[in-house]
Structure 1
């Protein structure tokens, strides 16, 4: 007897739809797969390759995840991240200060920026990519004299 659950076609479709919902809201794939009892990423990819509609649903969920992460990055940037700083003297607490932890926010934002750059380098990457197919060559340059009188 196998220790892994066998999914019916209906259960596969239901699981993929739920997994895609979680991914669209920023959940990591491996964590989401485990929560729905899917044993491996390769099993999930096999399911997607067997059903083009589910594959399209997954790609759509990935795009939504990008937007969710981008929104989360902005939320982190504009919200405070309070951090308690406790000061001790002679082994005894004498002061507790609560202040915004800019460094914590910076680390979170940089992590999200890195992930977005890997997910969609054309949109969120740090390199500007010029696509020859969409850019047109310069055909003529016209020089004008800015000092000439306008008559």
Structure 2
């Protein structure tokens, strides 16, 4: 028997999803808000309740977009980077610039782990024009050609 009614479960789960969509992590939400279940209960709901895993996945996608938007906001914000002293001299605050860079890099890294296909680094693998979709016969023929070439160069 559940400690919560279906209505309570739906409300708590909805609150967690809203916070995820705003950019917060599940760990932070479950550890810091009193209107949330325990971690074990939350993950049990994801596993056992119809539609919860799909709704959670959608909330995580929204969070990714929120983090992406945060990167642009941080990059475009420059009010702390430069100041003008009383005598009119322009001062560049290197610490503020480095802090912004760190914030951006951390968010980029997190996004690359959350959704590597969309935000991860792309590898440019080339084959010098050779097809990578070879039949087993073609592959064996190519291996033999390379082995003969290696022997003749030795």
TM (normalized to structure 1)?
A: 0.67
Q: Equivalents in 2 of 1:39, 1:129: separation in Å?
A: 43
Q: Equivalents in 1 of 2:123, 2:79: separation in Å?
A: 32
Where does the alignment leave 5 or more consecutive residues of structure 1 unmatched?
85-96, 131-135, 138-151
**Per residue, is there more strand in 1 or in 2?**
1
Contact 2:81 2:97 in 1 (8 A): no
- Report the counterpart of residue 146 of structure 2 in structure 1: none
- Quote the RMSD (CA, aligned, Å): 2.8
Note if 1:28 corresponds to 2:45: no
Provide runs of 4+ in structure 1 moved above 3 Å.
Answer: 97-100, 127-130
TM (normalized to structure 2)?
A: 0.66
SS of 2:10's equivalent in the other structure is helix
- Report the counterpart of residue 103 of structure 1 in structure 2: 98
- Report the counterpart of residue 38 of structure 1 in structure 2: 37
Where does the alignment leave 5 or more consecutive residues of structure 2 unmatched?
83-90, 126-131, 134-154
Structure 1 residues 6-25: aligned runs within 5 Å: 6-25=3-22
